[in-house]
Amino acid sequence: MDSWRAVIGAQPHLAKWFFGPDGKPDDAYKAKLKKRFVQWALDACFQPHDQTWLDYQEEIGLRHTPEKKNQTDGAQTPSLVPLPYLIAFGAVVATTTRKFFVDAGVRDEELHQLEAAWAKAVQLHITLWSRPYVKEGLW
């Protein structure tokens, strides 16, 4: 998680969505998000794709739009994460896993299979999170 967050945080176009009105990172908000980010990664691997899971993906998408952004945590960060930035977040998470798998001893065909499976999982999540953006003014 920390590696992904460091990559995201090092990119100003992605990091700015975690800043408060004072123009500085909202560390309390980021700490709360980290817990949910960890849970999302676990759910992506282990949660059954049932209606409860599907409903929560909708909730995650809504939490990036004015409809629910900042409500869960009482934060004062920007009220919308534009869709291209949500997709960019997914690209970071989908394409930076090789090191983790290699460090865990995964090699060869299994490495390729795990990378492909993870990329598909992230693409599915980003696609579902994008649904709330199909509204006037958000697309």
Q: What's the domain range around 75?
A: 2-133
Asked whether residue 116 carries a pLDDT value surpassing 80, the answer given is yes
pLDDT of residue 85: 94
Q: Does 118 fall in a domain? A: yes
Structural domain tally of the chain?
1
Contact 83, 89 (CB under 8 A): no
pLDDT tens readout for residues 44-103: 999 999 999 999 999 999 999 999 999 999 999 999 999 999 999 999 999 999 999 999
Q: Does 104 fall in a domain? A: yes
User: What DSSP assignment string belongs to the chain?
Assistant: -HHHHHHHHTSHHHHGGGB-TTSSB-HHHHHHHHHHHHHHHHHHHHS--SHHHHHHHHHHHHTTSTTTTTTTTT--S-S---HHHHHHHHHHHHHS-HHHHHHTT--HHHHHHHHHHHHHHHHHHHHHHHGGG-STTT-
Q: Does 138 fall in a domain? A: no
Q: Does 55 fall in a domain? A: yes
The number of residues in the chain equals 139
What pTM does this model have?
A: 0.90
Asked whether residue 139 carries a pLDDT value surpassing 90, the answer given is no
pLDDT of residue 65: 96
Q: What is the CATH number of the domain that holds 26?
A: 1.10.490.10
Q: Does 139 fall in a domain? A: no
